[in-house]
Amino acid sequence: MGRPKALLRYRGESFLDRMIGLLSACSDEVIVVLGEQADGIRASLERAGMARFVVNPDPARGQLSSLRTGLAAIAGGAVIFSPLDYPAVLSSTAGAVAAALREGASLVVPRYQNRHGHPVGISAALAGEIMALADDASARDVIHRHAARYLDTDDPGILLDVDDPADYLRLVQEGSLEEE
């Protein structure tokens, strides 16, 4: 993509600045897990002061290692997590996930047109199960063992995963989705 995905721009801010803003509005603390180029990414952020940063010592091990790095940095409690490459998620969606966790749900998954996406909310118990997974497992292994509380939403941003330049171009060309 020519630069770290965290610093790609969408609606006037970086993907990571958007995610920090989104999650800080509904969470007590935002923990950002960085890997390669961590110092440069953090230095480029406008909302760096709104998050605590931890570095995944081995990001090549994949998403589970990053999720575990973030979970290890918290003191317990429910967690909302999302890869940063979902920049079009609406704040109302993240707020609804947080509210469902506060109401006692153990697994909260937003759904748009019967397809589920991010951000996902999990209880402290499920976070513990993810921490206990084998290295070759996936967080989905835990998630699929539990009944989710699905939140039907009018937010197509929960599905817009920007994995490559074509995805990014589509996102930018569509101006994607409506503002809240």
Tens digits of per-residue pLDDT, 107-131? 999 999 999 999 999 999 999 999 9
Q: What is the domain partition of the chain in residue ranges?
A: 5-170
The overall average pLDDT reported for the chain is 91
SS3 category, 79: strand
For the chain, percent helix, then strand, then coil, each to nearest 5? 40, 20, 40
pLDDT band at 76 (very low <50, low <70, confident <90, very high): confident
pLDDT over 60 (residue 180) = no
Query: For the residues of 84-119, what is the DSSP string, one character each?
Result: TT-TT--HHHHHHHHHHHHTT-SEEEEEETTEE-S-
Architecture of domain 5-170: Alpha-Beta Complex (3.90)
User: Residue 178: its pLDDT value, please?
Assistant: 45
SS3 category, 5: helix
What is the pTM (predicted TM-score) of this model?
0.90
